[in-house]
Amino acid sequence: MIKIEKLLRGEEVISKEAGNSMLPILKSKQPVRLKPIKWDECEVGDIVLCKVKGNIYTHLVKGKNMKRGLLIGNNHGHINGWTKIVYGKVIEILDK
């Protein structure tokens, strides 16, 4: 993915992810501005672009553990799992 490559190079990107798992915070394909971030700089409540069990998500940080990483889930109570693979943090939600 080009946006992940840009984030890994230290660039901010605009991303639009499809799906309703983050409603009402984010609508499907609503653009967001992402800044590069490392997992250990994230806090509970942040929205991050990350990889969990081989899947890429723009989801919420639900928990943080220095050994396991970040616990990732959607805005409807589903938990995706733990990861330390985080590419970017949502710093701005843009109008659709």
| Section 8-20 average pLDDT | 96
| Amino acid sitting at position 48 | V
Helices (H) and strands (E) in the chain, counts: 1, 7
- In the predicted model, is pLDDT for residue 73 greater than 90? yes
Tokens 């949502």 locate to 90
What contacts 26, CB < 8 A, 6 or more positions away? 17, 32, 47, 58, 75, 93
Percent of the chain whose predicted confidence (pLDDT) is above 90:
97
Strand partners, 30: none
Model confidence pLDDT, tens digit, residues 21-55: 999 999 999 999 999 999 999 999 999 999 999 99
Residue 1: per-residue pLDDT: 81
Percent of the chain whose predicted confidence (pLDDT) is above 70:
99
CA angle 1, 66, 88 (to 5 degrees): 25
